[in-house]
Amino acid sequence: MSVQLSIRNLTKRYKTGEGVTGISLDVKKGELVTLLGPSGCGKTTVLRSIGGFLEPDSGEIMIASKSVIKLPPEKRPTSMVFQGYNLWPHMSIYDNLAFGLKIRKTPKAEIKKAVEDALRLVRLPGVEKKFPSQLSGGQQQRIAVARSLLLKPEVLLLDEPFSALDAKLRHEMREELREIQTETGLTMVFVTHDQEEALSLSDRIIVMNQGNIEQIAAPQDIYDSPDTLFVAQFIGKMNFLEGVVEEDKLRVGGLVFPNTKRLAGSVVIAVRPEDVMIGPDSGERDGLYGTIKQVMVLGHYAEVSVELDGYGPIRAFQPRDSVKELRVGQRVTVAFAKVIAYPNK
């Protein structure tokens, strides 16, 4: 698969000290890549630099093997969907969508067909004569996506486009965007601070922190094998315990695990709640022991909080049926199906 977007050593620093330094990444043709990270990490700076809305201090941006670094936004083969819908309230939906094509002097018949096709793609056929105020927030955002699709960009840029929508609508829009991306084969770069959004949407996720890239990988790899302690803390729920390397094994209390990273000394042990196993306190001292503090049934699973002796609280996700016998104050033994270890800096 050919590279559609290539960024090399992109640097943009603001007077506040925020920005990005030495960002390099490639996005393949037809790929949906998400820039994910906390506020101020630099993800929007990268996106706006690609679109031409920011001028980098240094670096190169190539789209379809051509440099766009000197081009203004309107000359770049990109289109951007913002958080706000940016629809003209005095224009009909048809005129909002047709505007960009009219500027390009596209024939009327072609514009009419293109608008109809775009509305079908975003599941809003027949709304051409309505005005933005007559549509819901979710419908307006679909129109904003349709408007960007009509420009047939080489790369579609999306800057937290669903953040203003409620949770149910956000979920629906994510599914629809993924379907549109699959149907059109468009290359998309999506910015969000919502990890669930990134995990559900992306072919690959770029996790950013303080202007740098922490990890680039497929969603499953990011979740299962976070490269750094920051990624482990940021992606999904995670328990952290102090451990130690003894005889080239990782030890947490009475539990021992392989030291696959060849770490030494003190380590941080990360455990997903779904990898925490809870059993009755047998009285033997070869595992970890604790007291149940809370049991919350959350639909098809339950979240159990355990105060571990000597380590503090951890969370465990358990099948709903398996927690019927558990009660607050009960003593239990705890083990881990798998762990990830990091140097304890």
**How does the average pLDDT of the chain come out, rounded?**
90
Total residue count of the chain as it appears in this document: 345
pLDDT in tens, 209-253: 999 999 999 999 999 999 999 999 999 899 999 999 988 899 998
Predicted confidence at residue 137, as pLDDT, reads 83
For residues 236 and 288, give the distance between their C-alpha atoms in angstroms, rounded to a whole number. 23
For residues 244 and 45, give the distance between their C-alpha atoms in angstroms, rounded to a whole number. 40
For residues 299 and 168, give the distance between their C-alpha atoms in angstroms, rounded to a whole number. 17
- Highest mean pLDDT: which of 21-30, 106-115, 276-285? 21-30
Predicted confidence at residue 156, as pLDDT, reads 94
For residues 335 and 318, give the distance between their C-alpha atoms in angstroms, rounded to a whole number. 13
Angle at 93 between CA 88 and CA 97, to 5 degrees: 80
Predicted confidence at residue 282, as pLDDT, reads 64
- Domains for the chain: give ranges and CATH numbers: 3-232 (3.40.50.300), 238-343 (2.40.50.100)
Residue 285 confidence class, pLDDT cut points 50, 70, 90:
low
Contacts of residue 41, defined as CB under 8 A and 6 or more positions apart, other chains included, come to: 208, 209, 210, 211
Give the SS3 label for residue 105. Answer: coil
pLDDT in tens, 33-67: 999 999 889 999 999 999 999 999 999 999 999 99
Predicted confidence at residue 118, as pLDDT, reads 87
Question: Does residue 85 or residue 304 have the better pLDDT?
Answer: 304
For residues 270 and 291, give the distance between their C-alpha atoms in angstroms, rounded to a whole number. 20
pLDDT above 80: residue 31: yes
Cβ–Cβ under 8 Å, residues 157 and 168: no
For residues 45 and 43, give the distance between their C-alpha atoms in angstroms, rounded to a whole number. 5
For residues 54 and 331, give the distance between their C-alpha atoms in angstroms, rounded to a whole number. 58
pLDDT above 90: residue 138: no
Residue 313 has a CB neighbour count (10 Å cut-off) of 12
Predicted confidence at residue 36, as pLDDT, reads 95
For residues 35 and 15, give the distance between their C-alpha atoms in angstroms, rounded to a whole number. 23
Task: Write 182-185 long-range contacts (CB < 8 A, 24+).
Answer: 183/121, 184/121, 184/149, 185/29, 185/30
Contacts of residue 115, defined as CB under 8 A and 6 or more positions apart, other chains included, come to: 94, 97, 98, 101, 128, 150
Contacts of residue 73, defined as CB under 8 A and 6 or more positions apart, other chains included, come to: 51, 52, 53, 80
Residue 284 confidence class, pLDDT cut points 50, 70, 90:
low
Strands 3-13, 19-28: pairing is: antiparallel
Which percentage of the chain shows pLDDT scores above 70? 98
Q: Which residue has the tokens 């976070």?
A: 226
For residues 19 and 296, give the distance between their C-alpha atoms in angstroms, rounded to a whole number. 41
Q: Which residue has the tokens 């951007």?
A: 80
Helix (H) / strand (E) element for 312: namely strand 312-319
Predicted confidence at residue 283, as pLDDT, reads 60
pLDDT above 80: residue 287: no
Predicted confidence at residue 213, as pLDDT, reads 96
pLDDT above 80: residue 295: yes
pLDDT in tens, 322-339: 888 889 999 999 999 999
pLDDT in tens, 147-194: 888 888 999 999 988 887 788 888 888 888 888 888 889 999 999 988
pLDDT in tens, 86-106: 888 898 999 999 888 888 888
Locate 325 and state its tokens: 């016998």
Residue 286 confidence class, pLDDT cut points 50, 70, 90:
low
The residue type found at 1 is M
